[in-house]
Amino acid sequence: MSGPTLPHLGEGLEPTLREDLAAVTELVPLDEGGGATALKVFLLAELILNRDLSRIVEIGVYRGRLFLPLARLMFWLQRGEMVGIDPWSAEAAVQHEAALPGIDLVEWPATIDWAGMHADVQRHIERLGIGERARLIPQRSEDVDLAAEFGDAPIDLLHIDGNHDREAVRQDLDRFLPYMREGSILVMDDIGWPSVRNIYEEVATEHQVLFRITEGSVLLTPTSGGNDFAVLELRPKSTGRT
Ligand SMILES: C[S@@+](CC[C@H](N)C(=O)[O-])C[C@H]1O[C@@H](n2cnc3c(N)ncnc32)[C@H](O)[C@@H]1O
């Protein structure tokens, strides 16, 4: 499938590392439930390297197309951790406001083997030998005890890609931002979705947008694995730490 030509990003990565991260990303299939592109993996990997980020947290792991390569990176770096939060349940995956052409996000979750998907992510972690730096929290983001999990050190990079309904996205921001610091990186996925767009625009007025990538085809072909995300650097307002 031909799409818009994107700048050749990720070239700041050492070639062996870049190839390794691409290979780990490709272990995980893309499907209608989503999944990160190699471009996104490379961009975030560069930020983690260049800014010495240590604690990386993802809300919404799904099959692990972002979680696994970034956990692999933390393993290579021998620092910090990659934490993935996902309940892997049909009930949690129901989304009422988020809508994609060709997929009913109320009906679709019941067709997925969520327990099998969780087990597959765990199996990949074991096979890749990265368990020392990879941690899964099989809960909804709203149920995680943040003080217990992240009270000891700030989250350096947060990827919000869980439930895309308006209230869920807002709640993720309200709950997690106090556990980040000034200068932490916030990645919001699917900023073109109507339920996410306004919240993203609000956040973008309070924090520094480093870049955003939205491909025109994203909303038309959900299985194309297109990019639709923004990367922001947190300003002091609404963070709990300095
Ligand atoms: C679009 S997928 C994530 C894709 C993944 N970030 C990637 O790049 O490959 C959304 C995931 O969010 C999870 N999810 C839904 N509600 C959630 C919640 N309340 N907390 C955490 N994860 C949630 C779903 O189970 C699903 O696996």
- Residue 167 Cα to ligand 1 midpoint, Å, equals 15
Mean local confidence (pLDDT), 178-189:
98
Pick the CATH number of 15-233 from 3.90.440.10, 3.40.50.150, 1.10.300.10, 1.10.540.10: 3.40.50.150
Range in 60-74, 128-142, 175-189, 214-228 with the lowest mean pLDDT: 214-228
Please give all residues whose beta carbon lies within 6 A of any atom in ligand 1, as ranges.
33-36, 58-62, 65-66, 85-88, 92-93, 140-142, 161-163, 168
Would you say residue 217 has pLDDT above 60? Answer: no
Determine the residue of 26, 61, 231 to mutate for testing ligand 1's pocket, defined as the one with the most ligand atoms within 8 A of the Cβ atom: 61
Residue nearest to ligand 1 atom 18, measured at CA: 140
DSSP assignments along the chain, one per residue: ---PPPP---TTS-HHHHHHHHHHHHTS--BTTB---HHHHHHHHHHHHHTT--EEEEE--TT-TTHHHHHHHHHHHT-SEEEEE----HHHH--SS--BTTB-TTTGGGGS-HHHHHHHHHHHHHHHT-GGGEEEE-S-GGGS-HHHHHSSS-EEEEEE-S--SHHHHHHHHHHHGGGEEEEEEEEEE-TTSHHHHHHHHHHHHHSEEEEEEE-TTTTT-GGG---EEEEEE--STT-SB-
Domain boundaries, the chain: 15-233
Instruction: Examine the pLDDT at 118 and tell me if it is beyond 70.
Output: yes
At residue 106, the pLDDT reads: 85
pLDDT at 46: 95
Mean pLDDT of the chain: 89
